[in-house]
Structure 1
Amino acid sequence: MKFRTEVDIPGYPFRIDHRSPVLMMGSCFTDYMGSYLHKYLFDVCINPFGVIYNPLSIHKALTAILDKEEYTEDDLELYNDLYFSFNHYTGFSHPDKHKALENINRSFKEARRFIHDAHYLFLTFGTSYVYRYNKSGEIVCNCHKMPASAFSRERLTPEMITDALTGLFNRLQQVNRHLKIIFTISPVRHWKDGAHGNQVSKSILLLAVNRLCSFNPESFFYFPSYEMMMDDLRDYRFYAEDLIHLNNVAVTYIWEKFASAFFTDETRQVIEKLDSLLKAFQHKPVHPDSITHKKFVREREKRLTGLKSNYPYLPWSKFNN
């Protein structure tokens, strides 16, 4: 007897390994998966503009990566003594405009490098609702705690999303003809839209992604993280205390499905070895001066040296021990 509906993940005609640069952009679900890739020493760039929730702001960010050299003071706004960009998440804001630009451009330059070298671009859409800044008419990535009266709220249609992104994706593949794009819909609910509004919003995203994937099935793919949460892990014990975001159990479950779907056998073996070593470094001894612990430390260093020798292509400078 079955007590849950496990989601079938489609087979993908490619596999990702540690030699595959990956660019990830979108909602906070991108951070969930990206943090695992970073932890296990993949060549990954995660949300270079910070968290972006809607497809048209992702479109704007990718267009900037293709066309813009760098951000300047003209791209900044000032509110509540903070300089910020409407194209970026609040984490880039700073009281010093030079520091704000420095942070923005450091991340932006990394994104410009990745757009040419990346083998895979993961895009996670969170909502089809957007906010338009009344003064300029531009759709913003984040309202930066400005008054609600400064913005107009709109809901995109599937056609608006696909029409905007189709031309952009053609440009991306001219710049990087090997690039494959994998879409996901964030399973994080936007409860401020209301129960019905959230469902309508997610449905629009699903329709748009389905249409995009049909345009270029050899290069555009879909990973069903949304369905895993809604139809497989459909229980509040898999949510955080706010009952909206995923908890660690849910994130780990989806990560394991992600790894099984996309990684080579060798890559999964490397991850297992790295995970074991990371746990060894996180071990906190009760008696650090004991002979037993000193032996443990020597064995741990020996394992690290062995892994560095066996996998010299990994970015060991990022190993968080």
Structure 2
Amino acid sequence: MQLITKIPIAKADNPIDYNSRIFSVGSCFAVCISEKLHHFGFQQQVNPLGILFHPKAIEKLIDYSVSNREFLKEDLFFHNERCHCFAAHSELSNSDPNLLRNNLNSKIAEASDSISMASHVIVTLGTAWVYRLKSTSEIVANCYKIPQNRFTKELLAIHEIEESLQNIITHIRTRNSQAQLIFTISPVRHLKDGFVENQRSKSNLISALHNTLQENPTASYFPSYEIMMDELRDYRFYSADMIHPSAIAVDYIWQRFSEAWISRQTSELMSKVGSVRNALAHRPFNSGSEEHRKFVEKTEAEKARLMKILPHLQF
């Protein structure tokens, strides 16, 4: 008896292996997938400017990266005794504007290199809701808890999202025509916008993305959102906040991603890398025992063997 409606996902023609270089950008769910990639030892860079929730913020990052543009002093501002940039997440903020600017431009340079060398680019879209700064008409990536009356809240129209997505694809293709682009919609529910508003947002993202993919057949779609909504349609697969997918849900979506996008030979190595990581994280009951000594020796031997096969691997 089949108790779920499983979404058919075709095997990728250009799968990820341990020679792949992955550039991942987007919402907090992009970080979840990135943590899995890191756990299994893949070469990657994720969110150089921190989490970016909407297409316009991602577009700006990609534009700056492939155009080798730099952030200027005019792009920074002070709020609550710290210096910020409206194009970046608050995790990059700093009390020293020079350090912030240098860090931002260093991150952009790293992103430029990563996009140039990437075999796969994963873009995760979180929301179509954006905030526009009234004084400049600029759409921001982060509001930094600035009073809301300084912004207007807008829902990006389908055609605006399509334009942004096409710019993202064009910018990446300009720098790296061979990279495999993978788009997905985050399953995280943006309920601060409202229940109906979250659905409107996801609907616009889905419509715009699929319209864009029809015009760009070499780009691919992975159904993270649909897996959460249809295969895992139960609150037990959400975290305590009832907004984010639980660890089990993330594991399941990762498994479905792996089935489609990770080559079979690579999956076998992944299993071994994962086993070593788990062994290294193990806390012994008796660290002085003979049994633990043998366990450590076996783990270190397997670790050395894998690092010989995969020179980039770090534990």
SS at match of 1:50: coil
Structure 1: how far apart are the matches of 2:227 and 2:83?
39
CA distance in 2: counterparts of 1:294 and 1:168, whole angstroms: 52
Q: Distance in 1 between matches of 2:192 and 2:75?
A: 29
Q: Which residue of 1 aligns with 2:61?
A: 61
**TM-score computed with the length of structure 1 as normaliser:** 0.94
The separation in 2 between residues aligned to 1:155 and 1:247, in whole angstroms, is 27
Using the alignment, how far apart are the partners of 1:97 and 1:171 within structure 2? 29
* SS in structure 2 of the partner of residue 230 of structure 1: helix
Match of 1:133 in 2: 133
- Using the size of structure 2 for normalisation, the TM-score is 0.96
| 2:271 corresponding residue in structure 1 | 272
User: Is the 1:212–1:220 Cα contact (8 Å) retained in structure 2?
Assistant: no
Counterpart residue number, 1:239: 238
**How far has the Cα of 1:301 moved from its partner?**
1.3
Cα deviations by residue, 1:24-82 (Å, 9 ceiling, x for unpaired): 11100100001111122211110111111111111111111122343332321111111
Structure 2: runs of 5+ lacking an equivalent: none
Secondary structure at the aligned position of 2:9 is classed as: coil
- What amino acid is aligned across from residue 107 of structure 2 in structure 1? S
Equivalences, count: 315
Q: 1:292 to 1:12 in 2, by over 3 A?
A: closer
Q: Which residue does 2:50 correspond to in 1?
A: 50
Deviation, structure 1 residue 240: 0.5
Give the whole-Å Cα distance in 2 for the aligned partners of 1:140 and 1:226: 24
Equivalent residue, structure 2, for 1:9 = 9
Cα distance in 2 between the residues matched to 1:25 and 1:253: 21
1:289 aligns with 288
SS of corresponding position for 2:201: helix
Distance 2:109 2:69 in 1: 8
- The aligned runs of 1:193-204 (5 Å cut-off) are 193-204=193-204
1:237 is displaced (CA, Å) by 0.5
The whole-number CA distance in structure 2 between the counterparts of 1:145 and 1:89 is: 12
CA distance in 2, matches of 1:39, 1:70: 32
- Between the aligned partners of 2:221 and 2:95, the Cα distance in structure 1 is 40
Q: 2:48 matched to 1:40? A: no
CA apart distance, 1:203: 0.4
Residue 276 of structure 1, CA deviation = 0.7
Structure 1 runs not aligned, ≥5 long:
none
Q: Which amino acid aligns with 1:27?
A: S
Amino acid at match of 1:17: D
Q: Which residue of 2 aligns with 1:20?
A: 20
1:168 Cα offset (Å): 4.1
Instruction: In structure 2, give the amino acid aligned to 1:13.
Output: D
Partner of 2:105: 105
- Whether the aligned pair in 2 keeps the contact of 1:50 and 1:89 (CA below 8 Å) is yes
Amino acid at match of 1:307: L
- What secondary structure does 1:24 align onto? strand
Amino acid aligned to 1:111? A
Matches within 5 A, 1:200-211: 200-211=200-211
Counterpart amino acid of residue 193 in structure 2: D
- Which residue in 2 is equivalent to 1:260? 259
The aligned amino acid for 2:238 is Y
Distance 1:168 1:77 in 2: 27
Instruction: For 2:224, give the aligned amino acid.
Output: S
Contact 1:181 1:221 survives alignment (8 Å): yes
Confirm or deny: 8 A CA contact 1:26 1:58 kept in the other structure.
yes
Q: Tell whether the 8 Å contact from 2:68 to 2:109 is kept in structure 1 after alignment.
A: no
Q: Determine helix, strand or coil for the equivalent of 2:108.
A: helix
1:304 partner amino acid: K
- The answer as to 2:87 corresponding to 1:76 is no
Decide whether aligned partners of structure 1 residues 176 and 238 sit closer, same or farther in structure 2, where only a CA change above 3 A counts. same
Percent identity, aligned pairs only? 36
1:141 to 1:121, Cα distance in 2 relative to 1, 3 A: same
Distance in 1 (CA, whole Å) between partners of 2:246 and 2:89 is 23
Equivalent position of 1:251 in the other structure? 250
**Structure 1 residue 212 corresponds to structure 2 residue 224:** no
Report SS of the residue matched to 2:142: coil
Corresponding letter in the other structure for 2:32: Y
Q: Which amino acid in 1 is paired with 2:231?
A: D
Counterpart code for 1:164: S
